[in-house]
């Protein structure tokens, strides 16, 4: 793979791999607990072809869907490309036809009007369906057993939005999926679609509203009562895009906003709260109701984490100079006004996780990734170009922090959480860890970590026999869910 640009987007753990492969009965060092029974799906961007432009970025890599299938302490692995319309067109042409990130005006004229999404951000499981998602388009449905692509998923024509978030939220009690799509009505439009699918995966509502300016709404939140849409000032401009320029530019002088509406209410009930200027967050740990108050935990930074978005907005700030912290924003819904409270509850970091059962409910613990200042120079790679090298556990209630720092030259990807059958236990974290062995070469391992004892390190490790490109997000699906989906499919399509 020597024909890729030698930029941060294609070196280190972003070195293209481009190999579809599978292996059964991988070696396990240590013992994987029996109660870990299911599939760890991963979204891995991996460009199949060298880009049209030298300034191509990591976020445009073709989506690959990977699966660790774990049962009885045994691990199987497989990874395949998501066969998006874009992937298939470029495969046929044997060269890149789609140009810059989220800019169709830079494409080869032969693909005008074709679906540009690469479905590379989150594998989402809901209603017995696996979707590979990216926020610039609709999800692609994937066969969870073969990893083959079934096709673009629009709820059988019911969904009107042109886009579907990579961060839907699922209520653990009702099984409903709450989701949104921004730029729902087209490139740089202010339209945001807010949707609900019932536990069986049927679309039951879709409402549209307008955001204050066209921002990148990467993630949102639900509580038992509310849906929460945070808006940060990284904005799109249609004339800039039409001129072939960047889709996003960070505007340091612009306010942020938080829109909050009853989650089963009408979008007209949205209340807008005004936040600090210039801040940014891509992910939220969780939110919950506390009487009339709402608390939400934000992976907040004082500017946008993506260099190419800062540059486009004229923000000159080196990656290592970005400040931030895990920040709790608290809203009093009984009081009028636009203001809310803010306090830092943990170190800076991102890729947060809570147990699925705590979604929208109070969380006692949360896990996320950070850069350890004492961990040596961070490994290059990942979505923003530098990798995390420490796993953190926070307990917002008492301020306690536990950490698993990695050795210098190591990188950690976002974990998934697997619940324990023992209510006294915190469950397990599964994550892929990379150790640098050369400029663009790594030994990667799947680690199984006791979520209640992260500093103790992994209880089991699975050395991987092939190179692994940096993951974005993952999703844990218990065996019972996989089997229910398989049984339902067998009813519909008798073997
Ligand atoms: C993110 C990731 C994306 C994207 C936009 O993590 C934002 C944030 C992997 O793709 O297109
Ligand atoms: Fe994300």
Q: Return the beta strands (E) in 371-418 as ranges.
A: 390-395, 400-405, 410-412, 416-418
* Contact indicator for 195, 179 with CB cutoff of 8 Å: yes
Spell out the CATH class of 8-418+428-492. Answer: mainly beta
Give yes or no for a contact between 70 and 418, defined as CB atoms under 8 angstroms apart.
no
Q: DSSP secondary-structure letter at 53?
A: S
Give nearest CA residue, ligand 1 atom 11.
59
Spatial separation of the C-alpha atoms in residues 305 and 230, rounded to whole Å:
16
pLDDT of 208: 99
- Residue 132 Cβ contacting ligand 1 at under 6 Å: no
Cα torsion for 443, 449, 451, 453, to the nearest 10°?
-110
Q: Which of 361, 363, 364 is nearest to 289 (CA)?
A: 361
| Sequence spans of domains, the chain | 8-418+428-492
Q: What average pLDDT does the segment 423-436 reach?
A: 97
The pLDDT value recorded for residue 494 is: 75
Q: Give the mean pLDDT of 166-179.
A: 98
Nearest atom in ligand 1 to 135's CA: 11
Is the predicted pLDDT of residue 440 greater than 90, yes or no? no
Any idea which ligand is nearest the CA of 353? 2
DSSP, residue by residue, 280-310:
EEEEEEEEEEETTEEEEEEEEESS-S-HHHH
Confidence band of 495 (pLDDT split at 50, 70, 90): low
pLDDT digits (tens, 9 = 90+) for 245-266: 999 999 999 999 999 999 999 9
Classified as helix, coil or strand, 413 is: coil
H-helix or E-strand containing 242?
helix 238-242
Q: Over the stretch 47-80, which tens digit does the pLDDT of each residue have? A: 999 999 999 999 999 999 999 999 999 999 999 9
Q: How far apart are CA 404 and CA 406, in angstroms?
A: 6
Kindly report the backbone phi and psi dihedral angles of residue 13, in degrees, each rounded to the nearest multiple of 5, phi listed first.
-75, 0
Give the model's pLDDT for residue 491.
84
Instruction: Flag whether pLDDT at 1 surpasses 70.
Output: no
Beta-carbon contacts of 417 under 8 Å, excluding residues fewer than 6 positions away, are 353, 354, 355, 356, 367, 427, 428, 429, 451, 476
Q: What is the pTM of this model?
A: 0.98
**Rounded Cα gap, residues 135 and 156, in angstroms:** 19
Mutation test residue for ligand 1: of 119, 166, 216, the one with most atoms within 8 Å of CB: 166
- CA-nearest of 374, 492, 355, 380 to 436 is 380
Cα of first residue to Cα of last residue in the chain, in angstroms, is 41
pLDDT at site 439: 83
Per-residue DSSP letter, 174: T
Tens digits of per-residue pLDDT, 371-420? Answer: 998 999 999 999 999 999 999 999 998 999 999 999 999 999 999 999 99
3-state secondary structure of 26: coil
**CA distances from residue 285 to 167, 169, 296, 367 in whole angstroms, order as listed:** 12, 11, 8, 8
The average confidence (pLDDT) of the chain is: 97
- pLDDT above 70 covers a percentage of the chain that reads 99
Q: Atom 8, ligand 1: which residue's CA is nearest? A: 282
Residue 308: exposure state from Cβ atoms within 10 A (0-12, 13-18, ≥19): buried
Q: What is the pLDDT of residue 2?
A: 62
Please give the distance, rounded to the nearest whole angstrom, from the Cα atom of residue 25 to the centre of ligand 2. Answer: 31
Q: Is the CB of 469 under 6 A from ligand 1?
A: no
Strands 29-30 and 458-463: antiparallel
The secondary structure element, H or E, covering residue 311 is helix 307-312
Q: Is 282 in the pocket of ligand 1 (CB under 6 A)?
A: yes
Q: What mean pLDDT comes out for the span 134-163?
A: 98
Ligand located closest to 306 CA? 1
Measured by CA distance, the residue closest to atom 7 of ligand 1 is: 218
């Amino acid at each position: 793979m020597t024909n890729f640009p030698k930029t941060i987007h294609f070196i280190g753990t972003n070195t293209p791999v481009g190999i579809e492969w599978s292996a059964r009965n991988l070696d396990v060092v240590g013992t994987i607990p029996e109660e870990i029974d299911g599939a760890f799906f991963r979204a891995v961007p991996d460009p199949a072809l060298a880009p049209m432009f030298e300034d191509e970025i990591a976020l445009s890599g073709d989506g690959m869907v990977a699966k660790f299938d774990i049962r009885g302490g045994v691990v199987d692995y497989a990874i395949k490309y998501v066969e998006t319309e874009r992937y298939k067109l470029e495969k046929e042409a044997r060269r890149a036809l789609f140009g810059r990130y989220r800019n169709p005006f830079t494409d080869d004229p032969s693909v005008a009007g074709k679906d540009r999404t690469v479905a590379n951000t989150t594998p989402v499981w809901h209603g017995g369906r696996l979707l590979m998602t990216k926020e610039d388009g609709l999800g692609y449905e994937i066969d969870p057993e073969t990893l083959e692509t079934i096709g673009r998923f629009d709820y059988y024509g019911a969904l009107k939005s042109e886009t579907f978030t990579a961060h839907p939220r699922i209520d653990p009690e009702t099984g409903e999926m709450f989701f949104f799509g921004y730029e729902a009505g087209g490139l740089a439009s202010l339209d945001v679609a807010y949707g609900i699918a019932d536990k069986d995966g049927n679309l039951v509502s879709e409402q549209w509203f307008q955001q204050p300016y066209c921002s990148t709404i990467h993630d949102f939140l639900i509580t038992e009562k509310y849906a929460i849409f945070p808006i940060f000032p990284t904005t799109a401009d249609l004339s800039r895009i039409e001129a072939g320029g960047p889709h996003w530019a960070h505007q340091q002088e612009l306010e942020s906003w938080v829109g909050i509406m009853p989650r089963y209410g009408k979008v007209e009930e949205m209340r807008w709260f005004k936040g600090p200027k210039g801040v940014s967050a891509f992910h939220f740990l969780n939110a919950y109701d506390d009487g009339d108050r709402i608390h939400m935990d934000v992976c907040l930074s004082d500017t946008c984490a993506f260099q190419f978005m800062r540059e486009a907005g004229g923000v000159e700030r080196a990656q290592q100079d970005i400040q931030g912290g895990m920040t709790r924003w608290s809203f009093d819904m009984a009081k009028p006004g636009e203001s809310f409270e803010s306090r830092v509850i943990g170190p800076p970091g991102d890729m947060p996780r809570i147990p699925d059962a705590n979604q929208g409910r109070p969380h006692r613990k949360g896990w996320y990734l950070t850069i350890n200042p004492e961990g040596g120079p961070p490994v290059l790679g990942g979505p923003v170009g530098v990798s995390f090298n420490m796993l953190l556990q926070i307990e917002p209630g008492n301020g306690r922090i536990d950490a698993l720092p990695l050795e210098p030259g190591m990188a950690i990807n976002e974990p998934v959480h697997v619940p324990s059958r023992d209510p006294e236990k915190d469950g397990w974290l599964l994550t892929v860890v990379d150790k640098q062995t050369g400029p663009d070469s790594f030994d990667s391992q799947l680690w199984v970590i006791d979520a209640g004892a992260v500093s103790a390190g992994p209880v089991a490790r699975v050395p991987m026999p092939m190179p692994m490109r940096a993951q974005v997000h993952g999703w844990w699906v218990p065996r019972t869910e996989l089997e229910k989906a398989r049984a339902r499919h067998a009813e519909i399509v008798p073997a």
